[in-house]
Each structure stands twice: as C-alpha cells, then as structure tokens.
Amino acid sequence: MSLRLGDTAPNFKAQTTAGHIDFYDYLGDGWGILFSHPADFTPVCTTELGRTALLSEEFRKRGVKALAVSVDPLDSHKEWVKDINETQHCTVDFPIIADPDRHVATLYDMIHPNASATATVRSLFVIGPDKTIKLMITYPASTGRNFFEVLRVVDSLQLTANHSLATPADWQPGQDMIVVPAVSTEDAQQRFKDLKVVKPYLRYTSGPK
C-alpha cells in the first residue's frame, strides 16, 4: 500500500555507508529526510548528494538528519562517495543506505515500474519528530531536485508545528506568514506581531511575539 501524508513512516534496519542503522534510532527526536536516487555513478545523483552534503549545516540548524538510499550495494556506495566528494567539493557526511534487496524501496514505494522496473525514482520524504510523513515529492530520474526548496518546506513545516503559522505561495524566510485557520483572530492578536486581517480567513503576521 502506498504511503500518504500523515501516515507513520515505516521503520527499518539497513546497512549504510555509516554502518548498520535502525531508522527511528537514527532520527531520534528530530526531523528526517529520506530520499532515493536511481543508481550510483550517475550524473544527476552525484550532484544531488553533493548539494545535500554542502547544505549539511543548514539541515543541522533545523534539526534535520538526511538519509539517502539506492538499490546499489555498499561497496559501490563507498567508491561513489569518493567521486562525489571530489567532483562536488564536499564531504558526504550522511549515510547512504545499500538496498540491493529493495526492502526500503518497497516499504516507501520508491520503485515505479512504468518508469523503471529496477531502479528507484527520485522520491523524497520529510519525516517529523512524531515519525509521521510531512512531505512527499517524486521527481523523474532525469531531473535533479531543488534542495533549497526542501529547506524552505522544512522551514514552513516547523513554523506550523511550533507556531501555528502557515506560509503563502512562493514564501521565503523573512516574508510575512499566515495564521492558520484554527487560531481565532482574538488569539492571533495576543500571539503574533503586526497582525493584518485582510479577510477573516486571511491573516498575515511578521511572526510570533
């Protein structure tokens, strides 16, 4: 059965470039990003893993741990990491799961048979501290994902989780946010700065007080 937003992210144990892990133990109480790529030693994937490594401080600041997966074996991952570090000028500091038996790929429905019978597509899941799935995106093999967009969504998700704030179209950090409908305008006046009530259902704020 395929996963949907709000579902519990399935736990698993796996061999990775950082040793054997239990997914939930690896995440601890924080946020996680689990993302698949089609195969090792492929060009788009090389840039994606490099970008993730270069953004490692941004993920760390947000309490997000990254975890990549492909159906290639561990020895291949280890050799490929050397290439990623060399060509992308980075240090891959997050684990890459070796999933030759497709256990993780199957649990997360990452193989789309009409795209490829054997390789995972570019699936990405953001998982919250409660271990539920907060975001799912699926890209084709030929299109590298935008990891700045992933960070932007994490910022939005964390604003909602911590402050009952949503984010408007094309929002970027520093811009006004939207008070979620579940908060009354009376409460919003107590909790948020610069409240602008455009409509009873459309209320902007520059942030929590």
Residue length, the chain? 209
CB nearer to ligand BEZ: pick between 28 and 43: 43
38 binds ligand BEZ (CB under 6 A): yes
Name the one range near ligand BEZ by CB under 6 A: 23-31, 42-50, 69-77, 89-97: 42-50
95 binds ligand BEZ (CB under 6 A): no
Residue with the two structure tokens 């929002």: 171
How many helical (H) and strand (E) elements, i.e. helices and strands, does the chain have? 7, 13
Rounded to 10 degrees, what is the CA torsion of 130, 133, 135, 138?
A: 150
- Please pick, among 33, 45, 69, 159, the residue that the annotation labels catalytic: 45
168 binds ligand BEZ (CB under 6 A): no
Q: How many residues bind ligand BEZ (CB under 6 A)?
A: 7
Q: Known catalytic residue: 90? A: no
Judged by CB under 6 A, the residue of 141, 150, 154, 165 near ligand BEZ is 141
Neighbour-count burial for 112-142, b at 16+ CB within 10 Å, e otherwise: eeeeeeebbbbbbbbbbeebebbbbeebebe
Whole-angstrom distance, CA of residue 143 vs CA of residue 49: 13
Judged by CB under 6 A, the residue of 33, 45, 124, 126 near ligand BEZ is 45
Contact 147, 33 (CB under 8 A): no
CB nearer to ligand BEZ: pick between 122 and 134: 122
43 binds ligand BEZ (CB under 6 A): yes
Binding site for ligand BEZ (CB under 6 A): 38, 42-45, 141-142
